[in-house]
Amino acid sequence: MGQILAIDIGGTQIRAALFERGSLKPARVERTRTEASKPGVYDRLEALVASIWPEGGQVDAIGIASPGPLDPHTGVIIATPNIKEWRNFPLTGKLKARFGVPVVLDNDANLACLGEWQFGAGQGHQDVLYLTISTGIGGGVVSNGRLVQGYHGLAGELGHTTVWPDGPLCGCGKRGHIEAIASGTAIARYAREQIQDGGRPSSLASLATITSRDVSDAAAAGDLLAIETLARAGRYLGVAVANFLAAFDPSIVIFGGGASNSGPALFDPFHASLRENIFDPTYLTNLTFARAALGDDAGLLGAQTLAAMAVTQK
Amino acid sequence: MGQILAIDIGGTQIRAALFERGSLKPARVERTRTEASKPGVYDRLEALVASIWPEGGQVDAIGIASPGPLDPHTGVIIATPNIKEWRNFPLTGKLKARFGVPVVLDNDANLACLGEWQFGAGQGHQDVLYLTISTGIGGGVVSNGRLVQGYHGLAGELGHTTVWPDGPLCGCGKRGHIEAIASGTAIARYAREQIQDGGRPSSLASLATITSRDVSDAAAAGDLLAIETLARAGRYLGVAVANFLAAFDPSIVIFGGGASNSGPALFDPFHASLRENIFDPTYLTNLTFARAALGDDAGLLGAQTLAAMAVTQK
């Protein structure tokens, strides 16, 4: 049995890692800068894969975690926010033609979910809900031991579900998505608006720019506006997660992403809202809440898992 | 290979049917009255099964469609709205002990979804979203060819997802669930409230009681309040289905239940709202919308399918 080559395509760097199948630690890791706005991203990626390819060794499959939207069934990148030259780009097809092994692909949130399930906080569970709260809100779902991908490969886009039809505008152009209310970006924006447009007093008023981390720090120090800002996000996050429980009924909810470090100022109102909005308390019986355990390696480890599954199923 | 015995437990009658595996038409059907409020429902059910049991023939498994909430993993009926004596009732365990074959169980909406997938409108699809709109709103999901059941067996309870946090009270006691806005009960209630409390003129004002069917008929005849009532339900139904597409990304959405006969007065606003609220138009590419094809037999046929799957997996 050969090795698995896992790739994580990030905004600033592309990482490639060689794994013994099922291993948490890579045998080798190489990186290159993404330089997303410069031409030749694919060529840099291909050279990176060639540079890590084991001499005389065997690679069973390549797994790739990429920003979406993308189609995991065809291996085509539909578009990525950063890499403009990748529009309807047949990424797995090109790598398969070059390296002659199976190549599989999914978006970073889905693969972070898969990675946390196999190697991280979700180990031992069969029904996993994963939410990453950072600049946006990403989601991934494992149901009965399988990643939920959907017909177009667009399942689990949980940040773009509506919890407030007349609510704030989302980055995607629609209204009231949970991403538009509870993402790090949304948290920082709400605090800024309350200060600038609402004239509300806050320790944050002296800052030139406000981040969600600033809001968390200010809330921890007792700033009332910051506390209210996080309570608002937590309340709607509770509505959203109540919906996800009714849809998927997981045994564990895993939170990743920087803004999920906001602590009790976010999560106390979240849990109160979840209890208030969940339609049957049975959903909460033996339900585990956990922090993501794998950090930046979750996508890479999920890509390894997806690739190993693809080979096993053949 | 023997036959499959499928049971559908309804509010007024319990039906048992013997199927050759994979057959749409039962070899034999027997019924008994549920008489849910009288003691001995289980005894009537057991006698029904005994009466249809094939002499000298072989039954491979029994599948049961029942109102929930229930736990398909343990075969326990947690509670049903009608049959008061079934609280934490080990239904599959009792039948297995009596008849000596595998017995499986799920709720009627999940099994209607499974039935429509195997035998009805969902044939040939691998990712199916099923919604039944009648007195309540029930849901069921097939993802990548498997029924989504969840850890507690409570997945797919899509009628109890929130689309309007400050919206009307649901029968379950929570606010703003899609069932509280777009079910037949909710449609009739909204029209009645607008007439009685709002003093709005309508051809429905002369009726002693108003049903969702009355609202549909009045809308078809041009009654403005009825048209507005269905448009409101359709608009929120579009928000809800946009959320379900982002979560599950099906290739077909199947509508069952009497209130889904409301026609364009409900479904034109629904489709407009869905297009407005879905975050990426790719979800709608090649997405099929269909009416349920199996009528009252969907649960029975889904119970057959679940039982056949349980035996095959052994």
In 3D space, the residue among B227, B220, B217, B299 whose CA is nearest the CA of residue B256 turns out to be: B299
Please name every residue paired with A131 in a beta bridge, in sequence order, or none if there are none.
A139, A255
Residue ranges of chain A whose pLDDT lies below 50 = 314
Q: Which of residues 27-86 of A touch B (CB under 8 A)?
A: 69, 78
Chain A, residues 264-303, CB within 8 A of chain B, namely 276-280, 282-283, 285-287
Q: Do A243 and B243 touch (CB under 8 A)?
A: yes
| Residues 138-157 (B) with a CB less than 8 A from some CB of A | 141, 143-144, 146, 148-157
Do the Cβ atoms of A165 and B283 come within 8 Å? Answer: no
Q: What is the pLDDT of residue A314?
A: 47
Long-range contacts of A214-218 (CB under 8 A, 24+ apart): A214/A188, A215/A187, A215/A188, A215/A191, A215/A262, A216/A259, A216/A261, A216/A262, A216/A263, A216/A265, A216/A266
User: Between chains, do B161 and A247 touch, taking CB under 8 Å as contact?
Assistant: yes
Q: Return the pLDDT at A37.
A: 87
Shortest CA gap B179–chain A (Å) = 12
Secondary structure of chain B in HEC code, one letter for each residue: CCEEEEEEECCCEEEEEEEECCCCCCCEEEEEECCCCCCCHHHHHHHHHHHHCCCCCCEEEEEEEECCCEECCCCEECCCCCCCCCCCECHHHHHHHHHCCCEEEEEHHHHHHHHHHHHCCCCCCCCEEEEEECCCEEEEEEECCEECCCCCCCCCCHHHCECCCCCCECCCCCECECHHHHCHHHHHHHHHHHHHCCCCCCHHHHCCCCCHHHHHHHHHCCCHHHHHHHHHHHHHHHHHHHHHHHHHCCCEEEEECHHHHCCHHHHHHHHHHHHHHCCCHHHHCCCEEEECCCHHHHHHHHHHHHHHHHHHHC
Q: What are the φ/ψ torsions at residue A209 (nearest 5 degrees)?
A: -130, 150
If you average pLDDT over every residue of chain B, what do you get? Answer: 95
pLDDT recorded at residue B81: 78
The three-class DSSP label of residue A234 is helix
Nearest to A141 by CA among A166, A167, A113, A160: A113
**pLDDT over 60 (residue B148):** yes
**Residue A56 confidence (pLDDT):** 85
The pTM for the full model equals 0.96
Domains along the sequence of chain A with CATH: 3-107+296-313 (3.30.420.40), 121-292 (3.30.420.40)
* pLDDT at residue B37 in the model: 87
ipTM for the whole complex: 0.95
Mean pLDDT of B294-301: 96
